[in-house]
Structure 1
């Protein structure tokens, strides 16, 4: 059976289909439960959440599904030394982005307050609540932490954007590795080299990792149909992780306009930009993204740029100035067809089976 892989055996799921764990408030309990109850692995991105909020959302998820689910955190949640931006960085950002605030007739924000990392406290929550799957991005974890997870029955999944990152993750003892191709929507989780220099496509990255790494691999980026799943499995993936197609579903916590954008002609055009958060990520092409492309980056370090842009985002939503917003999305968005997560899962399962059966005949 096509759906019986090393990943499904480890994760105790019926189908090797993982839902991308969206951060920044885009995940929802309903989406996680829908995917997990259909035999896949739902995922919840919690890197912006307080420990108390993570405890609370875990209770909600467990009430909605008795199936395994994935909780995702970011090992590195700041690029700002000491959590602060310098006066020079703030002035450059003001010069680069001030015009957009003027356009919406809102004041340019004060320099963001210092940011204190939350990861250590969030990690303790994971160890306490013991989700079946704990995935992490932007780095590796100490071997001792991974061994503690294993002792508590928590499966660990790290994300790699290059072969070197996959090798580094395997050396620490993770249970599975995500091969995150540059087609994917959202932030690029690179950690050994710059994100701009770590832009290998999903299927090339998958093959490179399979050649050098024994740990089961999950292909992510540019996959939204059964044909894509079948291709990934054929190239050696043990599972796939699908983001944009699930983000576009009604059950996600994306704004209605965001979901509509993913089904519109605008979804044909995506770009990588640091303009909105300070870290490189792929979303639908926007005016701000194009204006800030190339040249010396003027954005504040992550996550201070997110804080800086938050009032602009609110004003843009209120005035429907969509060209001034970032709508996360991957390059595969133009093929999206389903607005309900249950229907999407059913299509993925049926189409994958049909394609693989045809390949064998």
Structure 2
């Protein structure tokens, strides 16, 4: 089985971004150019994972990755659920929603998703929110699938190395979207990407990926010079024409000035970074009281849908990283070429 280093020639991994951003077209375009495109599958049903993998294969014969959240089925505390609805009532009122519906489904079944991923046979599978069991990791590697684990602190990187991951993605606090923390409190994972890399390098022999705030070739060159084998970039691809986020979402990203992001639990019950907006501000004082992911994420689904329908970006979850003000709207191939030109200029 080829190593991760032999799979794709360029040191760029496109981050998996759940919620529709990573279309098959985006994933295929990154892989076709020589990076590693990643399909975010945490919110996809098992059959959809297989179908989207086949769609990617119709667009490119190059390797790609599929990402999943490692999570058990939640145990629902219905009293806590009603309390969470009360916390969200001011937001509902602002959007003209009389009642917040109780979701009929909280999340996809991870075991079924993992079976579908193995059936789909991507070259790489990446995981966040927790660590795999040894038997699960062995199933993937026996199927010829390389495994990337996500770490937000040194302890997590050590665990993924001990489990036998093929690579470890070090997610710095600058990164957009959800934090992958599974050891310790999420708010205690405070290291930036380059700080986390420096802390892990003396202890970790597994190849390392750096993620968080990398938007250009200079950032890529700096990470590689510091000892990373690859960088993972998400926000940099959100404004690409192949990205699946809405036109309004892209417009808000391109209007962003400086670091206009913050982390919040209010949307999903797990710390995630996105554009600061009215929803985050309204929920700031109660964000620590909402149910854990995926319960809060499912509960706010109706709010996010209403906000999108009403063209209210101030109430939408606009996930992105701290480098958002440097987003570029172009085709993937053009962005990839630009990045590689910048790497060469910076090296």
Counterpart among 104, 121, 124 of residue 133 in structure 1: 124
Q: Which residue of 2 aligns with 1:123?
A: 114
CA distance in 2, matches of 1:345, 1:85: 46
Counterpart among 2, 5, 8 of residue 8 in structure 1: 5
Deviation at 1:29, TM superposition (A): 0.6
- State yes or no: 1:154 paired with 2:154: no
- State yes or no: 1:47 paired with 2:47: no
The aligned runs of 1:210-359 (5 Å cut-off) are: 210-265=201-256, 268-294=259-285, 297-356=288-347
Counterpart among 154, 166, 169 of residue 178 in structure 1: 169
Which deviates more from structure 2 when the two are superposed, residues 56-65 or residues 331-340? 331-340
Deviation at 1:326, TM superposition (A): 1.5
Q: Which residue of 2 aligns with 1:86?
A: 78
Q: In 1, are the aligned partners of 2:107 and 2:294 still within 8 Å (CA)?
A: no
CA distance in 1, matches of 2:302, 2:107: 21
Give the 3-state SS of the residue equivalent to 1:218 in structure 2.
Answer: strand
CA distance in 2, matches of 1:151, 1:300: 37
Q: Which residue of 2 aligns with 1:68?
A: 63
CA distance in 2, matches of 1:77, 1:270: 29
CA distances 1:225-274 after superposition (whole Å, capped 9, x unpaired)? 00000000011000000000112212111111111111113563101001
Q: Which residue of 2 aligns with 1:27?
A: 22
CA distance in 2, matches of 1:283, 1:32: 22
In the alignment of these two chains, the number of paired residues is 345
Deviation at 1:117, TM superposition (A): 5.2
Deviation at 1:296, TM superposition (A): 6.4
Deviation at 1:139, TM superposition (A): 1.3
5+ residue gaps, structure 2, are none
TM (norm. structure 2) is 0.94
Q: In 1, are the aligned partners of 2:105 and 2:298 still within 8 Å (CA)?
A: no
CA distance in 2, matches of 1:267, 1:30: 29
Deviation at 1:344, TM superposition (A): 0.9
Deviation at 1:23, TM superposition (A): 1.1
CA distance in 2, matches of 1:164, 1:180: 13
CA distance in 1, matches of 2:67, 2:100: 30
Distance 1:67 1:114, change over 3 A: closer
Q: In 2, are the aligned partners of 1:31 and 1:251 still within 8 Å (CA)?
A: yes
Q: In 2, are the aligned partners of 1:77 and 1:303 still within 8 Å (CA)?
A: no
CA distance in 1, matches of 2:295, 2:137: 30
CA distance in 1, matches of 2:207, 2:226: 13
CA distance in 1, matches of 2:318, 2:72: 21
Q: In 1, are the aligned partners of 2:92 and 2:100 still within 8 Å (CA)?
A: no
Q: Which residue of 1 aligns with 2:194?
A: 203
Q: In 1, are the aligned partners of 2:266 and 2:287 still within 8 Å (CA)?
A: no
Give the 3-state SS of the residue equivalent to 1:159 in structure 2.
Answer: strand
TM (norm. structure 1) is 0.91
Q: In 1, are the aligned partners of 2:4 and 2:166 still within 8 Å (CA)?
A: no
Counterpart among 65, 89, 93 of residue 98 in structure 1: 89
Q: Which residue of 1 aligns with 2:33?
A: 38
Q: Which residue of 2 aligns with 1:56?
A: 51
Q: In 2, are the aligned partners of 1:180 and 1:219 still within 8 Å (CA)?
A: yes
Which deviates more from structure 2 when the two are superposed, residues 290-299 or residues 331-340? 290-299
Coordinate RMSD, CA, aligned: 1.7
CA distances 1:197-229 after superposition (whole Å, capped 9, x unpaired)? 112100000111111100000000010100000
